[in-house]
Amino acid sequence: MNVQVTRVIVHLVERCAELGVPVVPPHRQAVAAAVLRMADEGTDGALDTLYATGADLGALLTGRALQALGCKPADIQGYGKGALVGTGVPLEYGAALIHPRLGKAVRECLPGATTIMPSVTKRGAAGACLDIPTHGIADMWSFDHFDTVSLSVPDSPEPDEVLIAIALAERGRPLARVRPG
């Protein structure tokens, strides 16, 4: 399958306050995303190329997100991933890009990362919002790290495109205090 990366988008979120309560230092999340143009393979195209592309994107996007945060890989506490497929692309292509190998590539970039990455795959038109769930890199049950970061790219995905994103966070939600019940 022929896949072409057409753009890379990096989005940094700094929460400086939560409902008027200062957050010091700011809570920071970075999303790095790639827009891929997909060859028209119908619904039954081979997925092996997408698995390999996912691995390459995992390393590339993790590097870009770390660069945006300006921190060391060991400073990352939360992560997540997502795929937003255009209206003419099978959902399975987005799943093939983010599931078998992308997460492993991200974990290899982050010391101590052992948990499976939470994810979302959905279909949408250009400008649709991708809400990426995040949780702890070492403890997927850390309630403080259950969070979401959103990304919307006005001109992506086109009907024949897929937007693949990873999200990294330096720590858990601001002012987190939910505990297991």
**pLDDT computed for residue 43 by the predictor:** 65
Does residue 66 belong to any structural domain of this protein? yes
| Predicted TM-score (pTM) of this structure | 0.95
| 58 assigned to some structural domain | yes
Within a domain: residue 179?
Answer: no
77 inside domain: yes
* pLDDT tens per residue, range 135-158: 999 999 999 999 999 999 999 999
Is residue 176 in some structural domain? Answer: no
Domain holding 12, by residue range, is: 3-169
Tally the domains of the chain: 1
CATH number of the domain encompassing residue 105 = 3.30.1330.110
Find the mean pLDDT for residues 57-85: 98
69, part of any domain: yes
**pLDDT band of 3, cuts 50, 70, 90:** confident
Tell me whether residue 177 is in a domain: no
Question: What's residue 90's pLDDT?
Answer: 94
Instruction: List, as one string, the DSSP characters of 84-150.
Output: EE-TTS-HHHHHHHHTTTHHHHHHHHSTT--SPPPEEEEE--TT-EEEEEEEESS-TT-GGG-EEEE
- Average pLDDT (157-163) is 97
Establish if 180 belongs to a structural domain.
no
Asked whether 101 and 60 are in contact (CB, 8 A), the reply is no
User: What is the rounded average pLDDT for all residues in the chain?
Assistant: 95
Q: Which amino acid is at 91?
A: L
Contact 166, 74 (CB under 8 A): no
